[in-house]
Amino acid sequence: MKIITHTCSDCGTVVSANELEDRRVTKCPGLDCEAVLRFSDLPERDREHFLDNRERYRL
């Protein structure tokens, strides 16, 4: 299964698409990082892949 993640452009923290999709908008979990990450920050191809296979990404 393809792992889809987003890397914070400010601090490099990696966040899974799962976390982004649950909340749509989430504050970066990185230490002392105030960046806001959005599901829509993912490339369209990754978003489509994730939504098409959503059930398999459920933990």
Which parts of this chain interact with Zn ion (CB under 5 A)?
Answer: 8, 10-11, 13, 28, 30, 33, 35
What is the four-CA torsion angle of 44, 18, 38, 6, rounded to 10 degrees?
Answer: -70
**Residue 5 beta carbon to Zn ion: minimum distance, rounded to whole angstroms:** 13
Question: How far, in Å, CA of 51 to CA of 47, rounded?
Answer: 6
Nearer to Zn ion (CB atom), residue 31 or residue 59: 31
Nearer to Zn ion (CB atom), residue 5 or residue 13: 13
**Residue 32 beta carbon to Zn ion: minimum distance, rounded to whole angstroms:** 9
Name residue, tokens 């899974």: 16
